[in-house]
Amino acid sequence: MGCSDSKSTNSVDNKPKTENPQNNQGQSNANHQQQNIKGSGEQEKVVELKFDGTCVLYAEVIPNDDADLGELDRLCDEVAKFTREETGCLIYACGKIMHEKEPTRVAKYVFVGKFKTAEAAKAHQDNENNKPLIEAFTKLCVPGSLKGSMHMIVDNNENVRPWVQRDLNKENPELYILIQLKPKPEFKNKVLMGGPQIVGPTRLEEGCLNFDFMSVKGSDSISFFAVFTDKSAFDLHHETEHIKKAMPQMMEMLAESEFNISARIC
């Protein structure tokens, strides 16, 4: 498989947002029957999410300044080849996130995989074939910089689209995006309800190959996993009416947000 050094960006927004008192008012909506609205002296219960069983594993690591990037690319390719042959692997790719201020310098290497079940994801983590490759890879990276997370995909049966059955490992899309969001406590319900609403319209976009709304295991955060054919398709995504309408409102309800946009190398 070929390797590419296409540019990508990584940004983190941890700015506190000004609370809008109107967002604390109770609202009823027939489409959100799982939400219990606050009444006088009552506390609002958190929306209960349903999961479809699939999950995403995400890992990132910072290379040493003097690391042989060609060797790191080669090891990425080997890891990807092994993983794509594993039972239950739906999507797997390795990518690079470039420094925002130094676009020719690699900030992070990224590994992202979508698996049919949590058990399949765990089997991947325990796969003995990959361990020597991972060990060789991490020796060329900053000690302690390896971070990983598991994301459980929220059930969106009404939004299932034929591309779910396509083999994205063979289609070589260029951009893999993981967005992690931590809602402010008072807006958690609104974010949990609003996230799935943009899944359907986004999956209908021409350049979108995958788009999932997820809950981050072991944390209060939620996330999106997206795959786009290229940067142009991702730019068009930001110009759609559903994103222009939903994202400004959602960003005001967040305590933290992190966008990891990686260019696929293998």
What gap in Å lies between CA 45 and CA 129, rounded to an integer?
45
For residue 75, list its beta bridge partners. Answer: none
25-39, 192-206, 224-238, range with the lowest pLDDT: 25-39
10-14, 101-105, 139-143, range with the lowest pLDDT: 10-14
* Model confidence pLDDT, tens digit, residues 92-122: 999 999 998 998 999 999 999 999 999 999 9
pLDDT at 125 over 60: yes
pLDDT attached to residue 34: 41
**Main-chain dihedrals φ then ψ at residue 189, nearest 5 degrees:** -60, -45
Which of the four pLDDT bands, split at 50, 70 and 90, describes residue 3?
very low
What gap in Å lies between CA 247 and CA 237, rounded to an integer?
12
Provide mean pLDDT across the span 222-226: 94
Q: What is the DSSP string of 118-167?
A: HHHHHHHHH-TTTHHHHHHHHTTB-TT--EEEEEEEEP-GGG--GGGGS-
For residue 45, list its beta bridge partners. Answer: 36
pLDDT at 139 over 80: yes
Number of other CB atoms surrounding residue 158 within 10 Å: 8
What gap in Å lies between CA 2 and CA 258, rounded to an integer?
28
For residue 92, list its beta bridge partners. Answer: 113
Sheet strands (E) in the chain: 10-13, 51-61, 89-98, 106-115, 147-154, 175-183, 208-216, 222-228, 254-264
pLDDT attached to residue 43: 54
Is there a contact between 107 and 60 (Cβ–Cβ < 8 Å)?
Answer: no
Q: Taking the mean position of all CA atoms in its chain, how far away is CA 264? A: 14
R_g of the chain computed on alpha carbons: 19
pLDDT at 28 over 50: no
pLDDT attached to residue 206: 87
pLDDT attached to residue 193: 86
Q: What is the pTM of this model?
A: 0.78
Higher pLDDT, 241 or 171: 241
* Model confidence pLDDT, tens digit, residues 230-258: 999 999 999 999 999 998 999 999 999 99
Q: pLDDT exceeding 70 applies to what percent of the chain?
A: 76
pLDDT attached to residue 109: 97
Closest CA to 73 of 91, 59, 90, 93: 93
- The domain 48-264 is placed in CATH, from the list 3.30.56.10, 3.40.50.300, 3.30.70.100, 3.40.50.720, at 3.30.70.100
